[in-house]
Amino acid sequence: MEPSFWHEKWDLKQIGFHQPQINEFLVKYWSRLSLATSAEVFVPLCGKSLDMCYIAEQGHNVLGCELNQLAVEDFFKENNLPVSHQVKGEHQVYLTEQVSLIQGDIFTLPIESTQSITAFYDRAALIAWPEEMRQQYAIKLATLVPAGVKGLLVTLDYPQETLNGPPFAVSPQWIEQYLAPYFDVELLECADVLAENQRFVKKNVPWLNEAAYVLTRKI
């Protein structure tokens, strides 16, 4: 999946993956990470997600990474946030009081960019990749997350053959095979959310599960 795929989606405003509300699992389980108020939270493939506003409202500092410049600019514009801008290598950084968004390719993001984070939140990144790229992303995420750091991961799982992603299906077995070597994995909840997702209903997808995990980077 090339970067042009995502740029075209944003340019055409075909952004069904953008949720107009804060994720329920984020609200329900964020406290399970037991973070200090001043924690710095990494949000990969953040888009213009309102989840970042929720995290900032908890007193945390948000460090997002997003490929598309329009998504980054929209986040600040739609939330009426003043923003400054600087260039760091091949990435651009957009800054406001509690939110810093790095615009560029996460696969070329330098490790030092995330060495001060004390948590991470992934609702849209892992499920955005087809299989081969998802394995590459799992390795990159493990590289970017320092030892001992905890994160909240939200996934979707369904019979992949019934619908072309994204979002792509991520099963518990996939988590065990590709994330468990790097992270301690704790399943918090797995819920049937088919009825709330009409795109899947219309495509006759038989079931759709949303799951929340706590991941802790192994030492």
Residue 215 has pLDDT above 80, yes or no: yes
- For residue 71, the Cα-to-chain-centroid distance in whole angstroms is 14
Interval 167-185: pLDDT, tens:
999 999 999 999 999 999 9
pLDDT at residue number 18 = 46
Residue 104, class by beta-carbon neighbours within 10 Å (0-12 exposed, 13-18 middle, 19+ buried)?
buried
Across-strand partners of 100? 63, 95
Type of residue found at 130? P
**Which band of pLDDT confidence, cut at 50, 70 and 90, is reported for residue 6?**
very low
pTM recorded for the entire structure? 0.92
Question: Residue 101: how many CB atoms within 10 A of its CB?
Answer: 26
Tokens of residue 77, six digits = 């514009």
Q: Residue ranges per domain, the chain?
A: 3-11+20-217
Residues near 23 by Cβ (< 8 Å), separated by ≥ 6? 51, 123, 154
Mean pLDDT score, 191-214: 95
Superfamily grouping for domain 3-11+20-217: Vaccinia Virus protein VP39 (3.40.50.150)
Query: Cα–Cα distance between 151 and 218 in angstroms, integer?
Result: 12
Mean pLDDT score, 139-148: 98
Query: Cα–Cα distance between 138 and 46 in angstroms, integer?
Result: 16
Average pLDDT over the chain, rounded to an integer: 92
**Which band of pLDDT confidence, cut at 50, 70 and 90, is reported for residue 16?**
low
* Beta strands at 183-192 and 209-217: parallel, antiparallel or unpaired: antiparallel
Residue 1 has pLDDT above 80, yes or no: no
Counting every residue written for the chain, the total comes to: 219
pLDDT at residue number 74 = 93
Which percentage of the chain shows pLDDT scores above 90?
86
| Least trusted range by pLDDT, from 2-11, 45-54, 92-101 | 2-11
pLDDT at residue number 180 = 98
pLDDT at residue number 31 = 97
Mean pLDDT score, 9-26: 68
Residue 10 has pLDDT above 90, yes or no: no
Residue 140 has pLDDT above 80, yes or no: yes
